[in-house]
């Protein structure tokens, strides 16, 4: 017997992961409590794209100062599938938390940076050369990119809209990319990104983010999510989804994580059957001593 929620769940997944001009790209957000399986859910879709669309580029944005989540992927894919890209002059280093923060070499590829010069012709910082980054990224691999400043992902996504290719962007902790409660130039920057986010679908970009709660990110971005995924421990978003809090509270987390996927007033239930466990390298962190902007 197949339930309606199962049918709806599959239908919405088809829209989210399929690649037809009708559906276009997708901007989706996965929410859930700590340890609720947000990263595993995101990795399921990441490996799905890796397996079924090996000629397309996948970009992954990691957080700084915490074990790199990408090493959990190694429980399902070989190490060669991870490709680390670091911006020149970004001062990003990788440290082993189990060896007193000793620096480690992850065979990174460096992409060019462009100096930012002030009126006195002094170099006050660096900005990424996105074209060089895009050229150096490899299809069929997970390209894990470090700018040294996570806000630059807004600009990178804006760049990717012009490539004309199907691209996949996965963002861990969206609240660090489009933070809530900004002011000054960052307020305008986030507003500009929110304005651009409406074009993600048209530009064949599949952007998948995760965050503990939607309200961790700027409210102007909330309306732009095409798909919302609620994992166990998530908070209801009554304005954008029909999924109620009690329904979320009844989601099971054992043996596999159940989730509600919601879009445009309809919703269905899915079960993530792939588990991504920590591997031996799951103690390496990315560290940047200071922001460059």
Partner 1 sequence: MSKSRQIRMTHEDTILSQRELSALMKRKIQSPVLNDKQREQLPTILAKALLSFGSESDEIFFTDDGVLNLGSLHTAILRLTDWAIAPEIVVKQRGIEFKVNISKLWLHLYNRCLDWFPKALGESLRYSKEVMKREESTGHNFSFEDKI
Least distance (Å) between residue 264 CB and partner 1: 18
Place of tokens 């962007």: 169
Element (H, E) at 263: strand 257-263
The DSSP element (H or E) to which 16 belongs, if any, is: helix 4-17
| Residue whose CB is less far from partner 1, 60 or 111 | 60
Asked whether position 47 contacts partner 1 by CB under 8 A, the answer is yes
Q: Is 75 in the site for partner 1 (CB under 8 A)?
A: no
Pick the binder of partner 1 from 45, 59, 170, 230 (CB under 8 A): 45
Cα(59)–Cα(62) distance, integer angstroms: 10
Q: Which of 23, 48, 64, 166 binds partner 1 (CB under 8 A)?
A: 48
Q: How far apart are CA 94 and CA 286, in angstroms?
A: 5
Tell me, residue by residue from 220 to 259, as one string, x for binding to partner 1 by CB under 8 A and - for no binding: --------------------------------x---x-xx
Does residue 25 interact with partner 1 by CB under 8 A? Answer: no
Among 14, 79, 98, 99, interactor with partner 1 by CB under 8 A: 14
Which two tokens mark 164? 């004309």
**Range in contact with partner 1 (rule: CB under 8 A) among 10-18, 24-32, 134-142, 153-161:** 10-18
Kindly identify the residues of this chain, within the stretch 120-139, that bind partner 1 according to CB under 8 A: none
**Taking CB under 8 A as the rule, does residue 79 contact partner 1?**
no
Count the neighbouring beta carbons within 10 Å of the beta carbon of residue 196.
15
Element of type H or E holding 211: strand 205-211
SS3 12: helix
For residue 25, give Cα distances in angstroms to 133, 220, 229. Answer: 21, 20, 16
Site size toward partner 1 (CB under 8 A) is: 29
The Cα–Cα gap between 292 and 248 comes to: 40
Residues that bind partner 1 (CB under 8 A): 3, 5-7, 9-10, 13-14, 17-18, 44-45, 47-48, 50-52, 76, 252, 256, 258-259, 268-274
């Amino acid at each position: 017997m197949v339930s309606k929620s199962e049918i709806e769940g599959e239908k919405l997944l088809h829209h989210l992961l399929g690649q037809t001009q009708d559906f276009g790209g997708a901007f989706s957000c996965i929410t859930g409590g700590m340890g609720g399986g947000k990263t595993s859910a995101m990795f399921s879709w990441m490996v799905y794209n890796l397996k079924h669309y090996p000629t397309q580029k996948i970009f992954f944005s990691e957080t700084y100062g915490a074990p790199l989540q990408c090493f959990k992927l190694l429980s399902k894919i070989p190490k060669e599938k991870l490709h680390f890209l670091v911006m020149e002059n970004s001062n990003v280093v990788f440290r082993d938390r189990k060896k007193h923060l000793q620096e480690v070499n992850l065979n990174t590829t460096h992409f060019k940076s462009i100096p930012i010069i002030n009126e006195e012709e002094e170099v006050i910082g660096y900005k990424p050369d996105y074209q060089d980054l895009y050229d150096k990224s490899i299809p069929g691999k997970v390209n894990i990119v470090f700018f040294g400043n996570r806000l630059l992902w807004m600009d990178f996504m804006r760049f990717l809209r012009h490539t004309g290719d199907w691209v996949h962007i996965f963002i861990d902790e969206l609240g660090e990319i489009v933070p809530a409660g900004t002011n000054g130039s960052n307020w305008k920057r986030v507003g500009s990104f929110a304005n651009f986010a409406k074009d993600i679908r048209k530009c064949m970009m599949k952007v998948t983010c995760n965050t503990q709660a939607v309200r961790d990110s700027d409210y102007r971005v909330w309306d732009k999510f095409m798909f919302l995924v609620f994992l166990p421990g998530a908070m209801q978003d009554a304005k954008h989804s029909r999924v109620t809090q009690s329904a979320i509270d009844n989601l099971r987390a054992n043996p596999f994580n159940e989730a509600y996927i919601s879009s445009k007033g309809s919703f269905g239930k899915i079960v993530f059957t792939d588990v991504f466990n920590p591997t031996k390298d799951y103690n390496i962190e990315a560290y940047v001593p200071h922001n460059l902007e």
